[in-house]
Copies of this chain bind each other. A is one copy, B any other.
């Protein structure tokens, strides 16, 4: 048996505590699989006294997490502090500079500094692993970088934020408004007090930018992700989508084509028989399309103590087994800088919903707006909404250019007859 792999663990929130629990519970099995014992030697967290249900007395306590990097009794550092910058980034840099491998679950840090950190790891021949940063317990980083390594990947997309998926699923199943479900989720601790990273799509965008780099051999370009969250999704849209055979999901979608990188986070309509539609509640799901393997689906729990700790420990075992690899599947210098795709070239089918005054000529006005921009309509539903004469009009377009659809919408919104802000959502047709 080889000597133990000694871990310095920074951050003892749910995930950090979970890592301790996994290593405790499955110590024998993990030693058999890793080929050597894995032991935490030193830990650091903001609050030493917080009750975690763990005996921390066996570990060396370090007040300043960034000091873990320099310890002689630490072989690799696990960074679970979070945040794109600050102590997490300082610790990450010091760890690699000290010649130690780094494991992180920090998607924000990767989205902003992933390439620099990867280059630093590479310069020293060190592993930088982050399976837990995207889709929690689902081994999708490994799936893309190793399992699909033979393929040119054209598209990767999925449900990357369990909080959003949970909220949308509850809205649909229990016919509740967004605000109501969010408030309950916050009260129950499923959503953060400041939920913006989740519900505004930023967390999904962080993860998507990392997946895109890995899938396409591209340099991370987080700033280029067009990001829209789920605050504006109304129960009416969920209902109308269902009537048309769709379910609304917050989808992160990246495509590489014609030398350009398309990255977008947005609520989108997925057909009920699409694998993403079946991933409800807090599940995550990722689909990747390879030129030889075709469409692969990975689904599982994307957050929570157990699944995320499972991914962190998988990375630890990988390193214990001798795996180094490149953080983004190839040397940083081999990654291509892909310019952002021109949104004016985006085409697809679109879902539109308008609230209008129910008077003669309105429908003619709306359909003229579409005609004026060359957008044709696949289906249209009009429903009376209230006694005061409002009506709801829902349309699905044929495949059309996005700028044309947006221009039509702007023309409609300018009409006196349109009483609410028009809603537009993308339909996922693949």
Contact = CB atoms under 8 A, between A and B. Distances in A.
A139 B150 contact: no
Contact of A300 (B139, B295, B314): B295
Nearest to A145: B33
A151 B139 CA distance: 13
A292 B309 contact: yes
Q: How many copies does the complex hold?
A: 2
A228 to B, nearest CB: 28
B306 A29 contact: no
Contact of A148 (B145, B298, B314, B329): B314
A145 B330 CA distance: 22
A291 interface: yes
Contacts of A150: 22, 26, 30, 309-314, 316-317
Contact of A147 (B131, B297, B323): B131
A270 B299 CA distance: 18
Residue from A29, A148, A323 whose CB has the most chain B CB atoms within 10 Å? A29
Contacts of A145: 33
Interface string A138-149: 110011011111
B32 A330 contact: yes
Contacts of A306: 291-294
A296 B299 contact: yes
Interface string A296-326: 1111110000110111111011100111111
14 contacts: A30-B149, A30-B150, A33-B217, A139-B143, A139-B146, A139-B147, A139-B296, A149-B317, A150-B309, A150-B313, A278-B278, A295-B300, A297-B297, A297-B299
